[in-house]
Amino acid sequence: MSKPATRTASKRKAVANRAGAGTRTAAGKPLIDVAALRASARKSIDQGAITPSYSADRKEVVRLLNEALATEWVCVLRYLRHYHMASGMLGDAVRAEFLEHAQQEQAHAHQIAERIVQLGGEPDLDPDTLTRRAHAEYKVGKDLRDMVKEDLVAERIAIDSYRGMINYIGDRDTTTKRILEGILAQEEEHADEFADLLNGWIGK
Ligand SMILES: [Fe+2]
Ligand SMILES: [Fe+2]
């Protein structure tokens, strides 16, 4: 004997509902409403990775990321200048450090520019306004020790500016937050290396 049509339909519905049948809210509703999720994903597909659940102020996040991008590029340029100008007894050892930092700051700049584009913004790489938009300064330094000191200052500026951005973004944009946290950890390493170098400095 074949099964009644209504029983088969309700069984099908139960299987379809199973996808969102896990954790529930305090009100007993499914945490993830699969039907609503699927419908909303089809709307505004031109927004790419930006979905309705994005709760941060996207324009403000892009503006902050552009300031970070300018800061990173000023740091790349300052480290490259220091790399080319490093001389003296410690010159060779320290210039290798300058070059490595320049490359790492450039990698940070790429990460930030990519995130700006994902958020629907445009990376501002206009060299005319770079130093005005950056948080860190372009200081050439008068000798090797002074270069290291200026780099330490710039790293400390970057640390505080990234921490401020992370605190502002919070959990409203966890991807941007995670990217900035990764960069912050590396800026702290840079600052620590230079602080050690200055502490053990021999000579002028
Ligand atoms: Fe950086
Ligand atoms: Fe750095």
- Answer yes or no: is pLDDT of 125 > 90: yes
Give pLDDT, residue 8: 61
Residue type, 50: I
Q: How far apart (Å, rounded) are the C-alpha atoms in residues 116 and 106?
A: 15
> What separation in angstroms does the CA of 63 have from each of 14, 117, 155, 181?
46, 12, 21, 18
Q: How confident is the model at residue 6 (pLDDT cuts 50, 70, 90)?
A: low
Residue with tokens 């941007």: 176
Distance 71 CA to ligand 2 centre (A): 10
pTM: 0.84
pLDDT in tens, 153-173: 999 999 999 999 999 999 999
pLDDT in tens, 46-102: 888 888 889 899 999 999 999 999 999 999 999 999 999 998 878 888 999 999 999
Distance 170 CA to ligand 1 centre (A): 20
Q: How far apart (Å, rounded) are the C-alpha atoms in residues 18 and 34?
A: 10
Distance 76 CA to ligand 1 centre (A): 8
Distance 196 CA to ligand 2 centre (A): 15
Distance 113 CA to ligand 2 centre (A): 17
Q: How confident is the model at residue 201 (pLDDT cuts 50, 70, 90)?
A: confident
Q: Which ligand is nearest to the CA of 72?
A: 1
Percentage, residues of the chain above pLDDT 90: 67
Least confident of 19-23, 26-30, 65-69, 72-76: 19-23
- Judge contact between 169 and 180, C-beta under 8 A: yes
Domains and CATH numbers, the chain: 12-43 (no CATH), 58-199 (1.20.1260.10)
